[in-house]
Amino acid sequence: MSDLSHKWEELPSKYESLAGRAFTSTIVAEEVDPTCHPLREFNKFVVSPGLLAGTFAPSSGRLSVGGKSPLTGGIKEANAGGLTATKLAFINIRGIIIEGIPSAGTKDWYSILLRKDKCEIIKTNDYAGIGLYDLLTKIWKDYPSKPGIIGCGMAGQRLSKGAGVFGNNIENTDPGRYAGRGGLGAVLGSKRIVAIISDDTGGTRPEPKDKEKFDNGRKKLRDALNEHPVTGRLKDAEGNPFGGLKNFGTNILQNIINEAGALPTKGFKEGRFEHAAKISGEAVHELVDKTLENFGEKSEGIYGHPCHPGCVMACSNVVPYEKTGKAQVSPLEYESAWALGSNLGIGVLHDVAELNRLCNDLGLDTIETGNTLAMLMQGGLLKFGDGKGAIEALKQVYDENSALGRLVCSGALTAGQALGVTRIPVVKGQSFPAYDPRAISGIGVTYATSPMGGDHTAGYTIAAEILGIKGEREDPRKLEKSDLSRAFQATTAYIDSTGYCLFIAFCILDMDEGFGGMTDTVNGFLGKEIDVTEYGMNILKKEYDFNRRAGFTKKDDRLPEFFYKEPIPPHNVTFDVPNEELDKVFKDF
C-alpha cells in the first residue's frame, strides 16, 4: 500500500500444506517485527482461505485473517464463514499479504479487487464512512457477479481496537460473518483499505491429489455430522427437532451454561442470569416459528441457516422483528447474545439483537463491544439492564466526533482503565468470552495461556467440561487442566488451518468415523499424511515465539486478580488453578 503496487508469487513448496491459520501465523511470525507498532507501516495484514475451502468437504469454507494485534500486542488470527474463502479458493489464491501504508496525509480509501489471475487496487472513497449494510448493497450493485467481501467498517477506519473484519453472508443481506477478535479491523483500516472483493468468475473447484481418500473421508465426516445430536439434521425420523445447532444455533448454550452456573452476568459478577431463557437460542427458534405462522412467506426469520457455502451444520440464524417478520440481524450467536445480553443484564431479545445489528453495521467485534459496554456500566455511565441506554451509547459511534463513541470502540481494557474500573476481564488485552473461568477451570487455562489472548475458540475445553466426550465429562472444577487445554489448543490450530468450522469438534471427538473423515479429507487433498497434533503444535510454537519476541513473559499468562479473589455465585468458587499448572501448558516451548 506504500506505492499501491502488487505482485503475484507462486506458493513456495515449504508452504504447500499451510493454509488458514497456519498460513497467516507463519507469514506474521516470519515477516513481521514483533516489536512493531501494529497500526503503522511494518505490520502486515494476511488473508488465507482454509486448506479445503471450495472443495466438497462439508462445512469447510472458513477464512482466516491475521496480523499483529493492536488489542493484545501479540500475534493474532481470527476466522469466519461467509463467501470469501470459497471465492479465493476457486481462483487459486492461497494467501493475500498486505504490507505498508499509503503516504502520510493520504485521505483516500481503497479496495482490492481480485479476479482470476488479476488484481486491482481501486480508489473507493465512496465506500468509506458508511454503514456496512449499505456498503454490501453498493458493492453487489457495482459487481453483479456476487463477489465475496471482507473489510472494515467505521470502527476500523478510525483505528479502534474493538474493530473486527466483516464478511458478507451468502445472500449478501448482512455483514455479520465476522473475524471479529483482536482489533484486526483496525489493522486493515491502517492500510486505508475498506474492502477486499473476491470475484470467482472463470474459476474452478480445487481438486484433491488423492480423490478416492478425499471422497471417502468427506462422506464419513458428512454422515457423522448428520448423525450427531449437536451437529445433526434438523429433524429426526418422527419429525421432532434433532440437531441442536440447526434448531437453536450456537445460542443453545445460553441455557446450558446458565444452568452450569458459569454464565458471566453483569460484568462477571454472577454465574446465572434470571432472564437467560428470554434471549436464548430456544427463544429465537420460537420467534422464527411465530413469525412464520403470522406472516408466512413474508417472514424473513430463519434457523438452520448456513454461514458459508457447503456448511451442513447450518448453525446460523436470522432474527426477525416480531411485529413485521422482517429481518433484524443475522446471525445472533451465543457469544453475541451473551456479550450484549447476559453480560449487561439485558434480557430483552430485540434489544440484544439491535445491539448486534449496530455492531455489524459499524464494524465492531460483539464480544469486545459487550465487555466495553460493561465497563461503562461498572464505571457509572450506564446502568446494568438498561438496553435502550446501551443502544444509544453504541449509536454514538456513528458520530466520529463523539468522545463516548470513541470510548465504546476502544476495547474493554482501555475503556475500563479510563473509567477507573478495576474489574476488567482481559488477558493480554483481549476481553473474555461467555464462560466464567471460575466455574469452568479448563477454559480459564485456555484464556490465560493462549497466544491469542482471552479467546474460547483457541482451545474449546467446554466440549469436554460441559458437554462431555463419548459419554464422559471432565470435572469442570478439576485443577489439573494443562494437558486438556494444550491438546485442545493444538487440535484447534489444525482445524483453523483446514477451513473446517470449529464445531465439527463435537462429532470428531465423539465419533471415530468423524475424526477419520476429517483427517482423510485433509490427507487426501494434500496427497500425504499429516499428524494432527504435530501440525497444530508447530503453529502454536510459531505464535508463542512471536509473542515471546514481542516481550511477553509467563506473567502475561495469568487471569486478572479478581478471578482469584472474588467467588462467583451460585457455586461461590474462585479460579484456583496454580501458576505452576498454567506454566505447564507450553513448558517445552
Catalogue all structural domains in the chain, each as residue range(s) with its CATH number.
Answer: 13-198 (3.60.9.10), 233-421 (1.10.569.10)
Reduced 3-state DSSP string for 411-439: CHHHHHHHCCCCCCCEECCEECCCCCCCC
**Three-state DSSP state, 317:** strand
d(CA 349, CA 444): 28
Q: For residues 372 and 415, is the Cβ–Cβ distance under 8 A?
A: yes
What distances in angstroms separate CA 291 from CA 244, 250, 319, 347, 348, one per listed residue?
Answer: 21, 21, 10, 20, 17
Amino acid found at 347: G
The Cβ of residue 473 has, within 10 Å, a number of other Cβ atoms equal to 12
Report the predicted TM-score, pTM, of the whole model to 2 decimal places. Answer: 0.98
**Tell me, what's the pLDDT at 117?**
94
Q: For residues 262 and 439, is the Cβ–Cβ distance under 8 A?
A: yes
Cα dihedral sign, 222-81-412-427: positive
Strand order in the sheet with 75-80: 75-80, 63-68, 44-49, 96-99
**Tell me, what's the pLDDT at 104?**
87
The Cβ of residue 401 has, within 10 Å, a number of other Cβ atoms equal to 7
Cα atoms in the Cβ-side hemisphere of radius 13 Å centred on 378: 25
Which one-letter DSSP state was computed for residue 152?
A: -
**Tell me, what's the pLDDT at 196?**
99
Pair type for strands 148-151 and 316-320? unpaired
d(CA 178, CA 364): 9
330-339 burial, b if ≥16 CB within 10 A, otherwise e?
bbbbbbbbbb
**Tell me, what's the pLDDT at 11?**
97
Q: Is the peptide bond before 570 cis (omega within 30 degrees of 0)?
A: yes
**Three-state DSSP state, 287:** helix
d(CA 160, CA 324): 35
Name the burial class of residue 10, with classes exposed (0-12), middle (13-18) and buried (19+) by CB atoms within 10 angstroms of its CB.
exposed
Per-residue confidence of the chain (589 residues) as pLDDT tens digits? Answer: 999 999 999 999 999 999 999 999 999 999 999 999 999 999 999 999 999 999 999 999 999 999 999 999 999 999 999 999 999 999 999 999 999 999 988 999 999 999 999 999 999 999 999 999 999 999 999 999 999 999 999 999 999 999 999 999 999 999 999 999 999 999 999 999 999 999 999 999 999 999 999 999 999 999 999 999 999 999 999 999 999 999 999 999 999 999 999 999 999 999 999 999 999 999 999 999 999 999 999 999 999 999 999 999 999 999 999 999 999 999 999 999 999 999 999 999 999 999 999 999 999 999 999 999 999 999 999 999 999 999 999 999 999 999 999 999 999 999 999 999 999 999 999 999 999 999 999 999 999 999 999 999 999 999 999 999 999 999 999 999 999 999 999 999 999 999 999 999 999 999 999 999 999 999 999 999 999 999 999 999 999 999 999 999 999 999 999 999 999 999 999 999 999 999 999 999 9
